[in-house]
C-alpha cells in the first residue's frame, strides 16, 4: 500500500505554505514532519488522509486518486489522529474506542488487547470527559488502533503523554512499520525525530520544504533555519544543568 | 346494542374517542417528535444544550401564526402559516450559516440564534399592537397548547417515520459525536449527514409547532437527561427519546387539563414546571 503526493501545493488564503511537494510514503517507514506553528503540518495530514483537497496536485493511493475513493473504503486503509476535540462525545471510554472500528461495520471488536496496550482497562467504563489530558490522548490512540489502518497519520501524538506512554507510542509506531504499515507523525522534538523516524520532512511555512534522512537534516544550522535563530540552544547541552 | 347503553355512558365514550383519546395520542406523538428532534440537534451541534428551537423555528412559526391570528384567520390557516414560518426560519438559517457545515457548525448556530432573536422582537411587536381580545390565543400558541391538534394520525405517522429514519442513521450519528475531521477520517460523509440531521430535526419540529405551538423544554430536557443517565449510543438513545418525550408530554397535558379545571393551562407551562426541577436535580449529579 503506497501513498504518493504528486506535485501538491498547500495554501492558506493567499499565503503559500507548501510549494509543489513530491512525497512517496513507503510501506514500513516512519516519517516525521517538523516545522514551526502554522507551517501547514496539520493541513498536510488532512490532505494525505483525503479529507481536504490540495490547491494543486494530487494524492494517489496505490496509483488511484484518493479523492475518487468512497469514504468508507478510504477509512479502511488510512487512519488519522487529529488534534484533540472531544467536546461532543458523552459516552464511556469503551464506546469511544469502539468507534474506531466503524469503517468495518458493526461486527464486534475485541477491545481488551487495545485497552491493555494503552493501559485503559481500569478506565474503560468511565465517561470520556472525566479523563485527564494524557489518559484521553491514550483513548484517542486506542481508537486509532481499533481502525487498524495500514497508513496512520498522527498529528502531534506526543501531546500530554508522559515518558512511559511516549515510549509505548514509539514501540507501537516501530511495530506498525515492521508489519509493513506506514506511520506519519508531526513532531516538535528533534531528539525524538532523530532517534525514531526513518525520514523527516521539514516544512518552513513559506513554500519551502526538505525531505531526507534525519542524519542529513538535523543539524544545529538547519534547525535554526527551520525554527528561527537561537532555537538550536534548546537542544545544546548546557553547563548549568548537569545531565543525570 | 348501542341503544341499550345508558346515555351518560354514551357521552363518556364519545368524549373518550373523539376528544380525550385523540388528544392523548397527539400529545404522545408531539412529545416524541420534540425529544427526537432535540437529540438530533444535540448531535448536529455536538452540544448537550442544543434543542429543537435553536435555529429560530419557534420564532418563525410564532411570528406568522400571530400575524394570522391578528388578521382574524381561523385555526387551520394559522397552522399552515406556522408551518410556513418554521420552514422560512430553517431556510434562512441554512442560507445564512450553512456554508461551512462540513467543518464548522458555529456559523449555522449563530445564524439560528440571531434569527430567533429577530423573530422574538417581531413577535413582541405583534403582541403589543394586536387586538386585546386575541391576546390569550396568541399567548397559548407561544407557550404551546394541545387543544388545537386535530390530526393525531399524521403526527403518529411522522413520529414512526422520523424514528425509523433516524435509527437508519444511528451508526453515523455515533461517529458524528467526534470532531468533524475524525468523523470524516472514519468514512462518514460529514456535510451530507449533518444536512440530513438538520432536515429531519427541522421537519419534526415544524410539524409539532404547526399542530401545537411552541411547547418548550421537552426537546431539551428529555435527550439531555437520557444522555446523562448513560444512553450514549443512538440506536438506544433515539427510540428512548421518542418514548420518554411522548410520555412526559402526555403527563404534562393531563395536568394542564386538570390542575385548574374547568380552565386549562398551556401545556408548555407544565413541561417547564416539571422540567426545570428535574433538570436542576440532574445537574447536581457529578
Q: B228-257: per-residue pLDDT in tens? A: 887 889 999 999 999 999 999 999 999 998
Averaged over B179-208, what is the pLDDT?
95
Which of B46, B189, B232 has the CB atom closest to A87's CB atom?
A: B46
Mean pLDDT of B217-225: 92
CA angle A18/A21/A27 to nearest 5° reads: 125
Per-residue pLDDT at A12 exceeds 90: no
Does A60 have pLDDT greater than 90?
yes
pLDDT at residue A241 is higher than 70:
no
Predicted local confidence at residue A103, as pLDDT: 94
CB contact residues (below 8 A), chain B span 183-222, against chain A: 184-189
Beta carbons of B205 and B86 less than 8 angstroms apart: yes
| Structure confidence by residue, pLDDT tens digits, B8-27 | 788 888 877 777 888 999 99
| Nearest-Cα residue of chain A relative to residue B50 | A88
pLDDT of the residue at B196: 95
pLDDT at A244: 53
* Nearest chain B Cα distance for residue A222, angstroms: 32
The per-residue pLDDT of chain B, averaged, comes to 90
- Segments of chain A assigned E as strands: 3-12, 15-25, 30-34, 56-61, 64-65, 78-81, 151-154, 182-187, 199-203, 209-212
Average pLDDT over residues B84-109: 91
Tell me: the pLDDT tens digits for B36-71?
Answer: 999 999 999 998 889 999 999 999 999 999 999 999
Which residue from B235, B208, B233 is spatially nearest to B219, judged by alpha carbons?
B208
Return the pLDDT at A243. Answer: 54
For chain A, list the domains and their CATH numbers.
1-77+152-236 (3.40.50.300), 82-148 (no CATH)
The dihedrals phi and psi of B105, each to the nearest 5 degrees, come to -95, -5
| Nearest neighbour of B187 by CB, restricted to A74, A89, A90 | A74
Residue from the list A85, A90, A106 with its beta carbon closest to the beta carbon of B171: A106
pTM: 0.91
Q: What is the pLDDT of residue B1?
A: 43
Q: Which residue is closest to B188 within chain A, CA to CA?
A: A71
Distance CA B33, CA B56 (A): 17
Over range A63-70, report the average pLDDT. 91
Per-residue model confidence (pLDDT) at position B273:
87
Alpha-carbon distance of B156 to B235, in angstroms, equals 20
Query: Is B181 an interface residue toward A (CB < 8 Å)?
Result: yes
Determine, for residues A49 and B185 on separate chains, whether the beta-carbon distance falls below 8 Å. Answer: yes
Higher-scoring residue by pLDDT: B55, A233: B55
Whether pLDDT at B137 is above 70 = yes
B9 in reach of chain A (CB within 8 A)? no
Instruction: Evaluate if residue A242 carries a pLDDT over 70.
Output: no
Structure-block grid coordinates of residue A54: 490540495
Distance from CA of A46 to the nearest CA of B (A): 8
pLDDT of residue B53: 93
- Chain A residues at the B interface, defined by Cβ less than 8 Å, are 46, 49, 51, 70-76, 78-80, 82, 85-92, 95, 99-100, 102-103, 106, 147
Q: What is the chain A residue with the closest CA to B225?
A: A90
Per-residue pLDDT band for B173 (boundaries 50, 70, 90) equals: very high
Report the residue of chain B nearest A73, measured CA to CA.
B187
Q: Kindly report the nearest CA distance between residue A112 and chain B, in angstroms.
A: 20
The 3-state secondary structure of chain B, one letter per residue: CHHHCCHHHHHHHHHHHHHHHHHHHHHHHHHHHHHHHHHHHHHHCCCCCCCHHHHCHHHHHHHHHHHHHHCCCCHHHHHHHHHHHHHHHHHHHHHHHCCCCCCCCHHHHHHHHHHHHHHHHHHHHHHHHCCHHHHHHHHHHHHCCHHHCCCHHHHHHHHHHHHHHHHHCHHHHHHHCCCHHHHHHCCCCHHHHHHHHHHHHHHHHHHHHHHHCCCCCHHHHHHHHHHHCCCCCHHHHHHHHHHHHHHHHHHHHHHHHHCCCCCCCCHHHHHHHHHHHHHHHHHHCC
d(CA B249, CA B159): 14
- pLDDT for B134 beyond 70: yes
Q: Cell 540552544 identifies what position?
A: A233
Q: Is A168 exposed, middle or buried (0-12, 13-18, 19+ CB in 10 A)?
A: middle
Question: What's the mean pLDDT in B212-217?
Answer: 90
Tell me whether residues A90 and B174 touch, CB distance under 8 A.
no
- pLDDT by residue (tens digit) across A179-211? 999 999 999 988 889 889 999 999 999 999 999
Q: What pLDDT score was predicted for residue B121? A: 96
List, for residues B112-124, the tens digit of each pLDDT value: 999 999 999 999 9
Q: What pLDDT was estimated at residue A106?
A: 62
Q: Is B276 on the interface with A (CB under 8 A)?
A: no
Whether residue B184 is predicted with pLDDT greater than 50 in this model: the reply is: yes
Q: Which three cell numbers stand for residue B204?
A: 419534526
CB contact under 8 A, B179 and A85: yes
- Residue B285 — very low, low, confident or very high, per pLDDT cuts 50/70/90? low
Give A-chain residues touching B186 at CB under 8 angstroms: 75, 99-100, 102-103, 147
Q: Name the band, by pLDDT with cuts 50, 70 and 90, for residue B286.
A: low
> Which cell numbers in the block locate residue A24?
512517496
Distance, in Å, from the CA atom of B26 to the CA atom of B146, rounded to the nearest integer, reads: 8
Note the pLDDT of residue B5: 57
Polymer length of chain B:
286
Considering only CB atoms, B175 lies closest to which of A70, A85, A99, namely A99
Alpha carbons B65 and B89: distance in angstroms, whole number:
13
A51 vs B46, B181, B233: nearest CB: B181
Taking an 8 Å cut-off on Cβ atoms, the answer to whether B186 and A92 are in contact is no
Looking at the partner chain, which of A73, A89, A106 has a beta carbon nearest the beta carbon of B178? A89
Amino acid at each position: 500500500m503506497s501513498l504518493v503526493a504528486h506535485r501538491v501545493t498547500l495554501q492558506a488564503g493567499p499565503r503559500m505554505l507548501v510549494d509543489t511537494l513530491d512525497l512517496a510514503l513507503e510501506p514500513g517507514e516512519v516519517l516525521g514532519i517538523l516545522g514551526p506553528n502554522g507551517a501547514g503540518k496539520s493541513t498536510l495530514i488532512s490532505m494525505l488522509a483525503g479529507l481536504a483537497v490540495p490547491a494543486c496536485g494530487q494524492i494517489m493511493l496505490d496509483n488511484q486518486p484518493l479523492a475518487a475513493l468512497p469514504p468508507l473504503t478510504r477509512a479502511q486503509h488510512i487512519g488519522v489522529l487529529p488534534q484533540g476535540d472531544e467536546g461532543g462525545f458523552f459516552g464511556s471510554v469503551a464506546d469511544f474506542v469502539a468507534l474506531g472500528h466503524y469503517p468495518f461495520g458493526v461486527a464486534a471488536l475485541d477491545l481488551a488487547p487495545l485497552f491493555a496496550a494503552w493501559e485503559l482497562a481500569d478506565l474503560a467504563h468511565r465517561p470520556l470527559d472525566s479523563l485527564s489530558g494524557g489518559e484521553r490522548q491514550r483513548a484517542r490512540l486506542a481508537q486509532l488502533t481499533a481502525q487498524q489502518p495500514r497508513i496512520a497519520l498522527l498529528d502531534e501524538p506526543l501531546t500530554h503523554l508522559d515518558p512511559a506512554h511516549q515510549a509505548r507510542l514509539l514501540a507501537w509506531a516501530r511495530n506498525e512499520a515492521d508489519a509493513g504499515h506506514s506511520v506519519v507523525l508531526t513532531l516538535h522534538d528533534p531528539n525524538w525525530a532523530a532517534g525514531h523516524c526513518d525520514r523527516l520532512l521539514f516544512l518552513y511555512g513559506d513554500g519551502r520544504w526538505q525531505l531526507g534522512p534525519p542524519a542529513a537534516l538535523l543539524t544545529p544550522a538547519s534547525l535554526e533555519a527551520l525554527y528561527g535563530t537561537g532555537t538550536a540552544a534548546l537542544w545544546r547541552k548546557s553547563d548549568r544543568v548537569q545531565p543525570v | 346494542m348501542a341503544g341499550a347503553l345508558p346515555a351518560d355512558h354514551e357521552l363518556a365514550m364519545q368524549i373518550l374517542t373523539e376528544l380525550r383519546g385523540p388528544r392523548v395520542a397527539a400529545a404522545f406523538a408531539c412529545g416524541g417528535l420534540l425529544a427526537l428532534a432535540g437529540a438530533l440537534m444535540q448531535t448536529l451541534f455536538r452540544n448537550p444544550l442544543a434543542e429543537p428551537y435553536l435555529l429560530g423555528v419557534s420564532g418563525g412559526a410564532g411570528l406568522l401564526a400571530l400575524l394570522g391570528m391578528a388578521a382574524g384567520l381561523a385555526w387551520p390557516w394559522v397552522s399552515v402559516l406556522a408551518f410556513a414560518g418554521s420552514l422560512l426560519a430553517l431556510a434562512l438559517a441554512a442560507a445564512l450559516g450553512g456554508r461551512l457545515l462540513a467543518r464548522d457548525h458555529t456559523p449555522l448556530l449563530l445564524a439560528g440564534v440571531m434569527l430567533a432573536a429577530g423573530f422574538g422582537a417581531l413577535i413582541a411587536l405583534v403582541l403589543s399592537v394586536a387586538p386585546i381580545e386575541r391576546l390569550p390565543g396568541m399567548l397559548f400558541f407561544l407557550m404551546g397548547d394541545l387543544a388545537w391538534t386535530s390530526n393525531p394520525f399524521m403526527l403518529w405517522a411522522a413520529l414512526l417515520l422520523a424514528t425509523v429514519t433516524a435509527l437508519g442513521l444511528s451508526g453515523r450519528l455515533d461517529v458524528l459525536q467526534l470532531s468533524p475531521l475524525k468523523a470524516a477520517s472514519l468514512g462518514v460523509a460529514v456535510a451530507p449527514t449533518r444536512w440530513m440531521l438538520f432536515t429531519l430535526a427541522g421537519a419534526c419540529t415544524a410539524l409539532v409547532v404547526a399542530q401545537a405551538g411552541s411547547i418548550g423544554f421537552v426537546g431539551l430536557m428529555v435527550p439531555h437527561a437520557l444522555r446523562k443517565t448513560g444512553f450514549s449510543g443512538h440506536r438506544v438513545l433515539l427510540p428512548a427519546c421518542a418514548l420518554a418525550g411522548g410520555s412526559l408530554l402526555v403527563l404534562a397535558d393531563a395536568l394542564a387539563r386538570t390542575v385548574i379545571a374547568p380552565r386549562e393551562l398551556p401545556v408548555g407551562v407544565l413541561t417547564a414546571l416539571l422540567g426545570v426541577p428535574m433538570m436542576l436535580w440532574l445537574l447536581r449529579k457529578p
